[in-house]
């Protein structure tokens, strides 16, 4: 076996022990492979709920700021918000339209956040 002379420097010496094992994180990941899938699933659920609530809040903001309804972006956000809040339309029938729009779109946004984050927390515990 060749010795490590001046021209044969061992760039990767064997692990001698100590406070931080170089492969500890890989070992932890291998032991927690089932938890990694649950974590990814929870992250997807969490993200989808946040995106849904984001579209609803963005539509409330655009409506309150009196955005141009003929704009393509505003029309897209309105269409997504209508689709996401279709099940809750006209729950509130207040006279000022701004307040009606706020409550009819804020309620589903809060429900999406609560259900999505709760489901994500439940999946993480599996």
pTM of the model: 0.68
Per-residue model confidence as pLDDT tens digits over 20-78: 555 555 544 444 555 788 899 999 999 999 999 999 999 999 999 999 999 999 999 99
Domain spans in the chain, listed from the N-terminal domain onward: 55-126
Q: What is the per-residue pLDDT for 84?
A: 95
- Neighbouring residues of 43: CB distance < 8 A, sequence distance ≥ 6: 120
Q: What is the per-residue pLDDT for 38?
A: 87
Residue 16: helix, strand or coil by DSSP? coil
Per-residue model confidence as pLDDT tens digits over 73-109: 999 999 999 999 998 887 877 788 888 899 999 999 9
């Amino acid at each position: 076996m060749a010795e490590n002379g001046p021209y044969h420097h061992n760039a990767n010496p064997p692990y001698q022990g100590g406070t931080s094992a170089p492969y500890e994180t890989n070992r932890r990941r291998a032991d927690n492979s089932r938890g990694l899938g649950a974590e990814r699933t929870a992250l997807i659920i969490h993200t989808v709920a946040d995106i849904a609530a984001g579209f609803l809040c963005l539509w409330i903001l655009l409506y309150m700021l009196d955005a141009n309804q003929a704009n393509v972006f505003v029309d897209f956000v309105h269409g997504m918000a209508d689709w996401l809040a279709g099940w809750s339309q006209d729950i509130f029938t207040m006279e000022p339209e701004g307040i009606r729009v706020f409550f009819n779109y804020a309620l589903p946004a809060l429900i999406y956040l609560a259900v999505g984050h709760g489901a994500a927390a439940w999946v993480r515990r599996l």
